[in-house]
């Protein structure tokens, strides 16, 4: 899209004295300056700040001109691009911004990819990328960056990104299985989550990492799943567990892979099996993709009538929920079922049997509620502020092994 937008104004731009190459380089410089501001990411810049941001490109293009003339020409170029380029626009107060934030994030990633692959903090991408790997304001730029590296140099450059990320475990990827030492679980969970994020968008390129990199990643991923056990959770602060689980969810949570049977029998309920986790966004997505919202047999007469009157096509805020696949799905009606099997919601008595097979104050026993057992108030949500990924608080699991029965979201889990 950006290539088309830039090329479509080629003649007009050249009449102004600016080349197509200049436009690409200047937009990329401008974008990185906006993403990497001293006070954080910015979506709007003063026109003069924009002129300063592209000055290095101006120096290359117009090396024979004094600085004031270059600055004037930079302002002229920015105003020209604001008039119908579809890439940047002028806003009130003599300011500029990219038409769409994704344009800014992509150009910033492209500018990083044009840097060197070494360790120079001024000339190379790794020192800056390393600081921003887990910066929420940089999330989209970091996720676009591997594709830019691949486009600008092939698979070897992507390997040179994954290798130092995996080395944050404290072992070199090609030696990780030979040294006999393992990084701590918190580091593994963090690194596995980061690599999962980087690999996800590369699937469209059918990218495959070098075997030693793939082995180190699998090792980190397998070890990081221990954060969902009581023993492993004691080694990893809840904030890191929440963040790692969110990233694993976006990349494909191995716990929720299609085909895995997560139903656990509830003793004393006549063979009833209750799902280990509340129904997740990923599971509900299969129901949507299989056109479950269009088949009356899943709803019953009353449910189908309510659905038709309400115009329901999926859960409320569905597109936003898709961004967190391993969180419990919310804002669905109790008529809806999932998958093509005999599944229903549990009754209150069935929930009580699963949650409190032995009389106690809480499903997990007599221990007081805390941030390691339940996500039940804003004070207990240090990084999410809403529902968290399923199974992040294993200390709150009930005796049969079910998770999140007493917190996280209102509602129920499936039974068969």
Distance of CA 86 to the CA centre of its chain: 27
Which has the closest alpha carbon to 161: 187, 107, 197, 186? Answer: 197
CA distances from 376 to 305, 325, 388, 391 (A): 33, 20, 11, 14
Q: Could you give the CA distance from residue 346 to residue 278 in angstroms, rounded to a whole number?
A: 11
First to last CA, the chain: 48
Name beta bridge partners: 265: 273
Residue 384: the pLDDT is: 47
Cβ atoms 97, 43 nearer than 8 A: yes
- DSSP class per residue in 336-366: ---SSSS-EEPPHHHHHHHH-SS--SBTTBS
**In the prediction, which pLDDT does 299 show?**
76
Tens-digit pLDDT profile for residues 151-206: 999 999 999 999 999 998 875 444 344 344 456 787 887 888 889 889 888 888 89
What is the reported pTM?
0.70
Please state, in angstroms and rounded to a whole number, the distance separating the CA atoms of residues 243 and 325: 13
Task: Report the pLDDT value the prediction gives residue 411, as an integer from 0 to 100.
Answer: 67
Question: In the chain, which residues have pLDDT < 50?
Answer: 172-181, 338-340, 380-384
Contact (Cβ atoms closer than 8 angstroms) between residue 209 and residue 158: yes
Q: How confident is the model at residue 176, as a pLDDT?
A: 41
Distance between CA atoms of residues 366 and 259, nearest Å: 35
pLDDT of residue 377: 63
Closest residue by Cα to residue 23 from 109, 96, 82: 82
Do the beta carbons of residue 271 and residue 353 sit within 8 Å? no
| Contact predicate 253/379, CB 8 Å | no
Assess contact for 186 and 228: CB atoms under 8 A.
Answer: no
Residues 250/323, Cβ–Cβ less than 8 Å: yes
| Alpha carbons 411 and 409: distance in angstroms, whole number | 6
Length of the chain counted residue by residue? 416
d(C-alpha 343, C-alpha 325), whole Å: 20
For 285, other C-beta atoms within 10 Å of its C-beta total 18
């Amino acid at each position: 899209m950006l290539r088309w937008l830039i090329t479509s104004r080629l003649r007009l731009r050249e009449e102004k004295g600016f080349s197509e190459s200049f436009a690409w380089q200047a937009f990329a410089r401008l974008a990185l300056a906006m993403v990497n501001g001293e006070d954080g990411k910015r979506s709007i810049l003063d026109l003069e700040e924009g002129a300063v941001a592209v000055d290095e490109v101006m120096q290359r293009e117009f090396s024979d001109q004094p600085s004031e003339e270059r600055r004037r020409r930079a302002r002229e170029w920015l105003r020209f691009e604001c008039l119908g380029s579809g890439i940047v626009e002028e806003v009130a107060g003599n300011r500029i911004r990219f038409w769409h934030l994704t344009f800014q994030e992509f150009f910033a990633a492209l500018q990083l990819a044009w840097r060197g692959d070494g360790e120079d903090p001024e000339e190379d991408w790794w020192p800056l990328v390393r600081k921003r790997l887990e910066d929420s304001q940089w999330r989209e730029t970091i996720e676009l960056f591997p594709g830019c590296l691949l486009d600008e140099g092939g698979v070897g450059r992507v390997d040179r990104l994954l290798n130092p990320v995996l080395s944050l475990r404290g072992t070199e990827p090609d030696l990780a299985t030979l040294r006999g030492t393992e990084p701590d679980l918190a580091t593994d969970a963090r690194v596995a989550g980061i690599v999962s994020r980087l690999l996800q968008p590369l699937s469209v390129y059918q990218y495959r990492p070098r075997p030693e990199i793939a082995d180190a990643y699998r090792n980190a991923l397998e070890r990081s799943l221990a954060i969902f056990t009581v023993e492993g959770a004691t080694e990893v602060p809840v904030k890191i567990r929440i963040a790692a689980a969110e990233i694993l969810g976006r990349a494909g949570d191995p716990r929720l892979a299609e085909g895995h049977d997560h139903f656990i029998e509830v003793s004393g309920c006549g063979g009833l099996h209750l799902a280990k986790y509340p129904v997740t966004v990923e599971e509900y997505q299969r129901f949507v993709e299989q056109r479950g919202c269009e088949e009356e047999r899943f709803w019953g007469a009353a449910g189908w009538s309510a659905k038709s009157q309400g115009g329901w096509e999926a859960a409320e805020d569905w597109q936003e929920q898709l961004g967190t696949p391993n969180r419990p799905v919310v804002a669905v009606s109790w008529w809806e079922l999932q998958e093509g099997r005999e599944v229903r919601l549990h009754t209150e008595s069935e929930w009580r049997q699963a949650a409190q097979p032995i009389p106690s104050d809480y499903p997990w026993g007599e221990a007081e509620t805390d941030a390691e057992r339940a996500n039940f108030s804003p004070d207990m949500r240090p990084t999410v502020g809403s529902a968290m990924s399923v199974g992040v608080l294993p200390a709150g699991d009930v005796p049969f092994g079910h998770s999140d029965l007493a917190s996280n979201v209102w509602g129920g889990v499936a039974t068969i």
